[in-house]
Amino acid sequence: MGVVHKLRKEVFDFIINQKKEDPSLSCRQISDLISSKFEIKVSKSSVNSVLKSTQLSSSVGRRVLKKAMSKKFQIPQQKKQQLLESISTLGFTFDHKATAEEDPLGAIKDNVFAEKQQEEGFSLEKLSLELQEHDRKKRKSRIFYDATNQEVEDIAAAQMTQGVQGENKEASANKEKKAYIVPAGPIFFDEEQFLYDLKIAREDKEKEKNNRHLYDNAGVVFLKAAQIDTDGENLLGDLFRKNSKGVVVDNFNNICSGLLFLKAFNIQSVENIEKSKNDALWRLNGFRKGYPGRENLFGWTQKIDFSNQLQLEYLNEKEQSLSSIKAFRIIFEDATSIILDAQMRSIWREPVQQDLFSSLSSAMTLLSKKLISNNECLVMDVLREKGINRTDFARILASFFDIIGRKMRKIEVLSEKQEILAEFTLIPSIKRFFIVGFRPYQEIFKEYICSITDTVEFPYYDRPRDRVLYYSEVNVPLVALLKDFVSIPQILQEERPLKWVLLGQQKKKASQIALLTNMTTEKAESIISKYLTRWPSAFNKQYIEEGDRTDINREELNKNQKEYQCYAGDFVEKVFDNFGDIFNDYILTLHKYCLDKYFPKQKSEIDIKTMVSIFYGLQGFVRESYDQLIVTILIPQGYNFLDILEFAISRVNDRHLVTKDGRGIYVSAEKVKA
By mean pLDDT, which of 206-220, 308-322, 483-497, 603-617 is the weakest?
A: 483-497
pLDDT band for position 454 (cuts 50, 70, 90): low
Distance CA 365, CA 372 (A): 10
Does residue 570 lie within any of the structural domains?
yes
Distance CA 500, CA 511 (A): 11
Write the pLDDT tens digit of every residue in 523-556: 999 999 999 999 998 888 666 554 443 433 444 4
- Claim to verify: residue 559 and residue 582 sit in the same structural domain: yes
User: DSSP assignment, residue 70?
Assistant: P
The per-residue DSSP string of 166-219 comes to TS-HHHHHHHHHHHT-EE-SBSS--HHHHHHHHHHHHHHHHHHHHT--EEBTGG
- Claim to verify: residue 227 and residue 332 sit in the same structural domain: no
Tally of domains in the chain:
3
Percentage with pLDDT > 90 across the chain: 26
Specify the DSSP element, H or E, that contains 497.
Answer: strand 497-504
> Is the per-residue pLDDT at 339 higher than 80?
yes
Does residue 346 lie within any of the structural domains?
yes
- Claim to verify: residue 587 and residue 637 sit in the same structural domain: yes
Does residue 441 lie within any of the structural domains?
no
Distance CA 284, CA 604 (A): 30
- Claim to verify: residue 25 and residue 109 sit in the same structural domain: yes
pLDDT band for position 486 (cuts 50, 70, 90): low
Distance CA 540, CA 562 (A): 29
- Claim to verify: residue 229 and residue 265 sit in the same structural domain: yes
Q: What are phi and psi of 221, to 5 degrees?
A: -60, -25
Q: What are phi and psi of 116, to 5 degrees?
A: -65, -40
Distance CA 580, CA 263 (A): 9
Residues 6+ apart with CB under 8 A from 302: 82, 85, 86
Domain end (from 88, 111, 127): 127
- Claim to verify: residue 292 and residue 397 sit in the same structural domain: no
Does residue 202 lie within any of the structural domains?
no
Distance CA 385, CA 551 (A): 13
Does residue 433 lie within any of the structural domains?
no
Domain end (from 60, 94, 127): 127
- Claim to verify: residue 17 and residue 110 sit in the same structural domain: yes
For the chain, give the mean pLDDT: 76
Most confident range, picked from 5-19, 53-67, 322-336 = 322-336
User: DSSP assignment, residue 461?
Assistant: E
- Claim to verify: residue 23 and residue 108 sit in the same structural domain: yes
By mean pLDDT, which of 352-361, 475-484, 507-516 is the weakest?
A: 475-484
Host domain of residue 410:
321-377+390-428
- Claim to verify: residue 64 and residue 121 sit in the same structural domain: yes
- Claim to verify: residue 302 and residue 328 sit in the same structural domain: no
> Is the per-residue pLDDT at 153 higher than 50?
no
User: DSSP assignment, residue 58?
Assistant: S
Does residue 529 lie within any of the structural domains?
no
- Claim to verify: residue 284 and residue 334 sit in the same structural domain: no
- Claim to verify: residue 269 and residue 360 sit in the same structural domain: no
The per-residue DSSP string of 108-167 comes to HHHHHHHHHHHHHHHHHHHHHHHHHHHHHHHHTS----BPPHHHHHHHHHHHHT---TTS
Does residue 617 lie within any of the structural domains?
yes
Contact by Cβ (8 Å): 456, 437: no
Does residue 188 lie within any of the structural domains?
no
